[in-house]
Structure 1
Amino acid sequence: MNDTAVDYARVFQALPGMVALLTPELTYVDANAEFLRVAGRTREQVVGRYLFDVFPDNPNDSGASGMRNLAASLARVVATGERDAMALQRYDVEDPERPGEWAERYWSPVNAPVCDADGKVVLLVHRVEEVTELIRARGGPAGGRARVLEAELYTRARELQELNERLRQAHAREREVALALQKAMLPARRQVGDHHAAVRYRPAVGALNVCGDWYDVVDLVGGHRIGVAVGDVVGHGLEAACVMGQLRSALSAACRVASGPAEALNVLGRYAHVVDGAESATAVTTFIDFDDRTIAYSSAGHPPPVLVHPDGRVEFLDRATDPPLDARPDPVPRPEARTAYTDGATLVLYTDGLVERRGEDIDTGLARLASSLDRHRDDDPDRLADAVLLELLPPGGATDDTALVVVRL
Structure 2
Amino acid sequence: MRKPQIDYAAVFRALPGMVALLTPDLVYADANEDFLRLAGRTREQLLGRYIFDVFPENPNDPAAAGMRETQASMLRVVATGERDTMALLRYDIEDRERPGHWVEHFWSPVNAPVLDRDGNVVLIVHRVEEITELIRARAGAGSDTGRARVLEAELYTRARELQELNERLRRAQARDREVALALQEAMLPAPGPVGHHRAAVRYRPAIGTLNVCGDWYDLVDLPGDRIAVAVGDVVGHGLRAAGVMGQLRSALSAAARVADGPARALEALGLYARHVEGAESTTVVKTYIDWDAHTLTYSSAGHLPPALLRPDGTVTFLDRATDPPLGARPEHIARPEADLPFAEGDILVLYTDGLVERRDEDIDAGLARLADSLVRHGRSVPEALADALLADLLPPGGNTDDTALVVIRL
Regarding TM over 0.5, the answer is yes
1:341 maps to: 342
TM-score of the superposed pair, with normalisation by structure 2: 0.57
* Structure whose CA Rg is larger: 1
**Which residues of 2 match residues 272-283 of structure 1 at below 5 A?**
272-283=273-284
**Is residue 355 from structure 1 mapped to residue 356 from structure 2 by the alignment?**
yes
Aligned amino acid, residue 219 of structure 1: D
TM superposition shift of 1:389: 0.1
Q: Deviations over 1:214-271 (max 9, x none)?
A: 00000013x2100000001001110100100000000000001110000000000011
DSSP 3-state at the match of 2:405: strand
**Is residue 198 from structure 1 mapped to residue 219 from structure 2 by the alignment?**
no
Q: Distance in 2 between matches of 1:346 and 1:191?
A: 17
Query: Are residues 171 and 246 of structure 1, via their aligned partners in 2, closer, same or farther at CA, if it must alter by over 3 Å?
Result: closer
2:117 maps to: none
**Is residue 302 from structure 1 mapped to residue 303 from structure 2 by the alignment?**
yes
DSSP 3-state at the match of 2:316: strand
Q: Distance in 2 between matches of 1:359 and 1:240?
A: 25
CA contact (8 A) 2:173 2:239 kept: no
Query: Are residues 195 and 380 of structure 1, via their aligned partners in 2, closer, same or farther at CA, if it must alter by over 3 Å?
Result: same
Q: Distance in 1 between matches of 2:354 and 2:179?
A: 21
Q: Distance in 2 between matches of 1:251 and 1:236?
A: 20
- The percentage of counterpart residues that share the same residue type is 72
Deviating beyond 6 angstroms after TM superposition, the runs of 4 or more aligned structure 1 residues are none
Aligned amino acid, residue 301 of structure 1: G
1:114 maps to: none
CA contact (8 A) 2:350 2:407 kept: yes
TM superposition shift of 1:288: 0.2
1:284 maps to: 285
Q: Deviations over 1:174-202 (max 9, x none)?
A: 65544322211212236411111000000
CA RMSD after TM alignment: 1.5
Aligned amino acid, residue 189 of structure 1: P
CA contact (8 A) 1:190 1:197 kept: no
DSSP 3-state at the match of 2:242: helix
Choose 303-312 or 174-183, whichever is displaced more. 174-183
CA contact (8 A) 1:209 1:400 kept: no
**Is residue 228 from structure 1 mapped to residue 229 from structure 2 by the alignment?**
yes
TM superposition shift of 1:173: 1.1
Where in structure 1 are there 5+ consecutive unaligned residues? Answer: 1-169
Aligned amino acid, residue 204 of structure 1: A
**Which residues of 2 match residues 133-152 of structure 1 at below 5 A?**
none
Q: Distance in 2 between matches of 1:376 and 1:339?
A: 23
CA contact (8 A) 1:178 1:241 kept: no
Q: Distance in 2 between matches of 1:316 and 1:172?
A: 39
Question: How many residues in Structure 1 have an aligned counterpart in Structure 2?
Answer: 239
1:376 maps to: 377
Q: Deviations over 1:277-312 (max 9, x none)?
A: 101011000000000100000000100001111111
1:207 to 206, 209, 219: 209
Query: Are residues 243 and 178 of structure 1, via their aligned partners in 2, closer, same or farther at CA, if it must alter by over 3 Å?
Result: farther
TM superposition shift of 1:211: 1.7
Q: Distance in 2 between matches of 1:236 and 1:207?
A: 7
Query: Are residues 209 and 406 of structure 1, via their aligned partners in 2, closer, same or farther at CA, if it must alter by over 3 Å?
Result: same
DSSP 3-state at the match of 1:245: helix
TM-score of the superposed pair, with normalisation by structure 1: 0.57
